[in-house]
Amino acid sequence: MFATMKLKPGIPFTLIAGILFTGILSGCKVNYSMTGASLSPDVKTLTVKYFPKTAALGPSTLSQTFTEALKDKFLSQTSLMLSDQNPDLTLEGTITGYTVSPQAIQANEQAAQNRLTITVSVKFTNIKDGKQSFETSFSRFADFESSQNIATLEDQLIREIDDQLVEDIFNKAVINW
């Protein structure tokens, strides 16, 4: 029923099993990383275009900080190189929303909390695999106590929201579960 394998004396079975297992795995062609990014081996370059702010509100530095955070994420979590010359992947878009709205209204009709929301419209183009391309909006928020002045918290809240937005975009672009 089962085939028996005869080994030469002195060659441990675990060594042969390990060699066979390694040979089987080396036939796989999908690139995996510890971050979960799954890119084809022929995808090597990326362009992240400047994301201008079309939202009426928000600090003037919002576009620059978001664009740089997006670049940093892709460069630190993948083996991609930045290139403006015929890139394999392109990220472009605009910051379309920056709003502060009241949340958790109290009995005296005052907000106990406020919410900062940032919305980004993104177009991702994958030249090597058009099925991976997309165009969509991402929105994230952070809540803060209404007794706090947004001006003192704004930089921290923006970093927090940018991190979440960048993670969402990265996951949709290169995590192919």
Task: Supply the pLDDT for residue 4.
Answer: 52
- Average pLDDT rounded to a whole number, residues 34-56: 86
Burial 6-20 (b: 16+ CB within 10 A, else e): eeeeeeeeeeeeeee
Does residue 165 contact residue 118 with C-beta atoms inside 8 Å? Answer: yes
Residue 173 phi, psi dihedral angles, 5° rounding: -80, -40
Is the residue at 107 inside a domain? Answer: yes
Q: How big is the CA angle at 34 (ends 24 and 40), to the nearest 5 degrees?
A: 60
H or E element that contains 140: strand 134-145
Q: How many domains does the chain have?
A: 1
pLDDT tens-digit series, residues 21-37: 444 444 443 433 444 56
The rounded distance, in Å, linking the Cα atoms of 71 and 61 is: 16
Average pLDDT over residues 157-161: 98
The answer to whether the beta carbons of residues 47 and 53 sit under 8 Å apart is: no
Return the pLDDT at 30.
40
For 71-102, the DSSP string reads HHHHHHHSS-EE-SSS-SEEEEEEEEEEEEEE
Q: Tell me the pLDDT of the chain averaged across its residues.
A: 84
Q: Is residue 28 part of a domain?
A: yes
- Whole domain around residue 55: which residue ranges? 13-174
Residue 89 lies in a domain: yes
- 128 Ramachandran zone, left/alpha/beta (phi>0; psi -120 to 50): alpha
> Which band of pLDDT confidence, cut at 50, 70 and 90, is reported for residue 107?
low
* Nearest alpha carbon to residue 168 among 108, 124, 128: 124
Q: Would 106 be classed as within a structural domain? A: yes
What mean pLDDT is predicted for residues 66-88? 96
Task: Tell me if 125 is assigned to some domain.
Answer: yes
Q: Quick one: pLDDT at residue 171?
A: 96
Q: Is residue 3 part of a domain?
A: no
Tokens representing residue 101 in the block: 């709205």
